[in-house]
Structure 1
Amino acid sequence: MSTQESVALPPLVQPAAALTPEEMQRYSRHLIIPEVGLQGQLRLKNAKVLVIGAGGLGSPAMLYLAAAGVGTIGIVDDDVVEASNLQRQVIHTVRDLGRSKAQSARDSILDLNPGTAVVLHETRLDAGNALDIFAGYDVILDGTDNFATRYLVNDAAAILGKPYVWGSILRFDGQVSVFWDRYGPNYRDLYPEAPPAGSVPSCAEGGVLGVLCAQIGSVMVNEAIKLITGIGSTLLGRVLVFNALQMSWRELKVRKDPHGEPITELADYEAFCGVGPAPVVDAGHTVSATELAAMLRSRDDGGASFELIDVREPGEYEIVRIPGARLVPKGRILSGEAAGELPRDKELVLHCKSGARSAEVLRELLDHGYTKVRHLDGGVLAWVRDVEPEKAVY
């Protein structure tokens, strides 16, 4: 099938019966736009939009959906608000620290527009609940940062015949598109195969410019509004790629694979993306934060020598580090690039932020014949908690 340019999309939602006088006043700037008008606003009032993730992209998206007059917003999120979220997740405030993100987002939406109905799904989206949750909505917005969820969202939307607005951000780069298997390409036409596990860092590992969330999230809402009202030309068949450093947009065309297999059922998405459970590390290859502190003191006093290897990214290393640690990022180790930097004749102690990445590197080194290697259980978070509580966490 050709791209969106040759596909006329009907309005996604039937119009509601009427607007109240208060709604006429609130949405007056929409009503005087010929392409939107009364009928478009009535369609927005009748629309049900599901937002997956009340995080960086979900935050601006939900606020603008509510401001635009979308009648029902569903929120899928099982996380709580942390201090590091506030740099970009503008729907939450300091008062919300420790609260459910879904509940925090609901309160902000209702503060902005009490006429919006908010439905909470405080659960982790998976193959067992996605179809049931999606069934109650007209369009799905997904701004999550992992490939397993993206494929799940795509497949569930395709099975139910619903459009899916996708956004992705990392550091200074953003991408956004519309996928609708009924009329054009789906996410699998853009990414037939998932990238190797660990090859693309999450925002927690690689960072993200906070304002990028607003730039990409607002485009996602723009696409949802066009789908709901049937106006304009959507991004179906096109991917917008944004570089915030260069302040440049470029467009990629995406066509439906004529040989692609129909999507008829959900799958094991973590297996498809090569994401399994965290490596199991036996006690003989693990060290606690207090044990590591004692090892460092002993080494400084002339005791047993060892190398402390930090497998995080350089930006993380700048925020907080364990004294004496040498930075060798995980990607360089797994690719083999740093093989000559890791001695085999000296004990290695690996660490990351929480222990997941260092456990992965530990398993890789053991598989390649290293025998004198351990990792810090709980990572920097455990070190700050148990040894240097005055240091910052992120």
Structure 2
Amino acid sequence: MTADRLGRFARHIVLPEVGGVGQVALDKSHVVLVGCGGIGSPSLQYLAAAGIGRLTLVDDDVVDVSNLQRQTIYTPSDVGRPKAEAAADWVRRFDLGLEVDPVMARVGDGNAPDVLSGADLVLDGCDNFATRLLVSDTCVALGIPLTSAAIGRFQGQVANFAGHLPDHACYRCFVGDAFDAVDCDTCAADGVLGAMVGMVGTFAAMHAMRVLLSGHAALGEPQFGTLHLIDGLAPSMRPLRIAKDPACRGCGPERHSANAA
């Protein structure tokens, strides 16, 4: 690393749990961020601040004035712009040493493998179950760890999944098949507190770094298959273990049979 990069990440490097080896690992990492909204904005800020070397930002929405209450990377001048494009510009202003690729599209059956391929980790903060399940299934197929983060009013959920590994659950093991539709509750209908979204998004970034630093540093286990439930009103956090579903069509024998056919 160059002298200016060493200075920038000095507070990471002096941590025994990260160190120089860990910082180099972050620099060499590629993270795909699905959704540049409420969860994606604070997640992106701290992933970029951590020095993640390559970021792919995926979102098909445009910035709305109502987003500014919680989506902290945007300003009034961004209203009407594609979120992925505006988010990429934020990264470029923040750190010229990072590579950033905006994808102004929704992840779908036709593009999911191309969009996610090559990532070391996918962080999904999108707003509908159909996309979440497709992202999970694609991560399993491609062998990519997934950090999933969601929020509903004052409750957040964050978990790391590795359904491509033996005996590890995937996101579909958690929610099942009932939600293969665009049926999530929305912030517009239910409301959301901006600081609560920030809490969940930054925790998701921290959880993603657990995966990226696994094997390179001592930040802690990736905690695959442990769902962290965050109650913003109490406040409190409690872990919930997600068991692998042997009949899961995302990571179970059915998927392997379909691939073999």
TM-score by length of 2: 0.90
The Cα shift of 1:136 comes to 2.4
The Cα shift of 1:228 comes to 1.0
Correspondent of 1:156 among 138, 149, 152: 138
Change (3 A) 1:241 1:151: same
Take 1:73 and 1:199, find their aligned partners in 2: how far apart are those partners?
Answer: 28
Report the AA paired with residue 104 of structure 2: E
* SS of match in other structure, 1:125: coil
Correspondent of 2:232 among 207, 219, 244: 244
Q: Deviations over 1:222-281 (max 9, x none)?
A: 121111111412231211111111111111111112343433579xxxxxxxxxxxxxxx
Alignment of 1:91-170 (within 5 A): 91-170=73-152
Take 2:47 and 2:184, find their aligned partners in 1: how far apart are those partners?
Answer: 30
Q: Deviations over 1:277-317 (max 9, x none)?
A: xxxxxxxxxxxxxxxxxxxxxxxxxxxxxxxxxxxxxxxxx
Structure 1 unaligned blocks of 5 or more: 1-18, 267-394
Change (3 A) 1:47 1:198: closer
Report the AA paired with residue 225 of structure 1: M
Alignment of 1:9-158 (within 5 A): 19-158=1-140
Whether 2:213 is the aligned partner of 1:213: answer no
Take 2:196 and 2:160, find their aligned partners in 1: how far apart are those partners?
Answer: 19
Take 1:145 and 1:199, find their aligned partners in 2: how far apart are those partners?
Answer: 9
Maintained 8 Å contact 1:51/1:141: yes
Report the AA paired with residue 136 of structure 1: G
Match of 2:169 in 1: 185
Whether 2:182 is the aligned partner of 1:194: answer no
Maintained 8 Å contact 1:145/1:203: no
Report the AA paired with residue 96 of structure 2: P
Report the AA paired with residue 191 of structure 2: G
* SS of match in other structure, 1:226: helix
Change (3 A) 1:245 1:96: same
Take 2:188 and 2:202, find their aligned partners in 1: how far apart are those partners?
Answer: 22
Match of 1:222 in 2: 206
Work out which structure has the larger RCO, using CA pairs closer than 8 Å and 6 or more positions apart in sequence.
2
Q: Deviations over 1:178-205 (max 9, x none)?
A: 1111231101111113259687522222
TM-score by length of 1: 0.60
Alignment of 1:238-277 (within 5 A): 238-261=226-249, 262=252, 263=255
Q: Deviations over 1:92-130 (max 9, x none)?
A: 111111111111111111222111110111112101000
Change (3 A) 1:208 1:235: farther
Take 2:248 and 2:135, find their aligned partners in 1: how far apart are those partners?
Answer: 18
Report the AA paired with residue 255 of structure 1: A
Count of residues paired in the alignment: 248
